[in-house]
Amino acid sequence: MLDTIAERPAPAAVASARPAAAPAVMLANVRKSFGSTRVLNGVTLSVKRGDVTCVIGPSGSGKSTLLRCINALTPVDAGTVVVEGIAVHDPALDKLALRRRVGMVFQQYNLFPHKTALENVMMAPIHVLQEDREEVEARAVALLTKIRLLDKAHCYPGALSGGQQQRVAIARSLAMRPTIMLFDEVTAALDPVMVKEVLSTIRDLAEEGITCILVTHEMGFAREVADQVCFTDHGIVVEEGPPEMIFTQPEDPRTRDFLGHVTF
């Protein structure tokens, strides 16, 4: 199963036009305000292909907005956002081209309540990509097997636990065969057992080489799995680096202060 995802055809036209080391996601000087509230105040961040990046920071520091700028759910006011060679900040952006490469998973799962788990996973490939139903169903069954929920394939989201819903939501995104996955506090509404289930699913993705960007408060996970941790505060990236550096020798006093309040 892991193979079918790794084997997806890379967006060839874009890939060939780009040096191999080009970052999967690149944000430069991104600004965003909601009314008079400035949420992003010049964010600069670069994420390597295949890396796991954890974005940490206090609530209201702009973490979620940062994530939402990457798949154009939130249009940026200024700055550049380039994802797999696509200029996301461009008003003429082809959203479908972007969103078939970038999957997103939310804190509240947001599954389609009128569709079963299997149908949730199949919907986007069938209706958006207009792929063959049988092929999509085979892929969806394989994805549900992978997240160990094949026995719940015909359950509606309302009949699943939070952790199960969240894993279905991950499978639903993966069915589009994205190269980048965004996770917006996906474990915040779950109990510790479910958190473990979901994090282990994300860990599998990272091992398959999917670029993962997580907004999270799971410091243990960030420390263990992340290739890069970035600390945000007041709409800027204060500090970024490998987890061993951020967690053991943070340079900025704000990072030290935040991590001082965190228990692992």
Contact positions vs other proteins (CB under 8 A): 71, 73, 95-96, 99-100, 102-104, 106, 108, 110-114, 123-124, 127-129, 156-159, 169, 172-173, 176
Give me the least distance between CB of 109 and other proteins, in Å please.
8
Rank residues 106 and 258 by Cβ distance to other proteins and give the closer one: 106
| Beta carbon nearer to other proteins, 89 or 99 | 99
Taking the complex as a whole, how short is the minimal distance between the CB of residue 229 and other proteins, in angstroms?
Answer: 24
In the bound state with other proteins, the residue whose beta carbon lies nearer, of 80 and 156, is 156
What is the spatial distance between Cα 123 and Cα 58, in angstroms, rounded to a whole number? Answer: 35
Q: Report the nearest approach of other proteins to the CB of residue 33 (Å).
A: 20
We find the least distance from the C-beta atom of residue 183 to other proteins, in angstroms, to be: 12
Residue 129's CB is within 10 A of a number of other CB atoms, namely 14
User: Across the strands, what pairs with 100?
Assistant: none
Complex with other proteins: residue 174 or 237, whichever CB lies closer: 174
Q: Six-digit token pair at 178?
A: 């994205």
User: For residues 10 and 262, which CB has a smaller minimum distance to other proteins in the complex?
Assistant: 10
What is the smallest separation between the CB atom of 127 and other proteins, expressed in angstroms?
A: 5
Query: Which of 247, 250, 227, 249 lies closest to 239, judged by CA?
Result: 250
Cα(50)–Cα(8) distance, integer angstroms: 14
Count other Cβ atoms within 10 Å, centred on residue 22.
16
Phi-psi region of 108 (alpha: psi -120 to 50; beta: other; left: phi over 0): alpha
Q: Smallest gap, in angstroms, from Cβ of residue 182 to other proteins? A: 8
Cα-based distances in Å from 61 to 96, 102, 206, 236: 29, 23, 25, 8
C-beta separation of 93 from 104 below 8 A: no
Report in angstroms how near the CB of residue 120 gets to other proteins at its nearest.
10
Distant-in-sequence, close-in-space partners of 227: CB < 8 Å, separation ≥ 6: 48, 51, 52, 53, 242, 243
Residue 228 bridge partners (DSSP): 53
Cβ closest to other proteins, residue 9 vs residue 19: 9
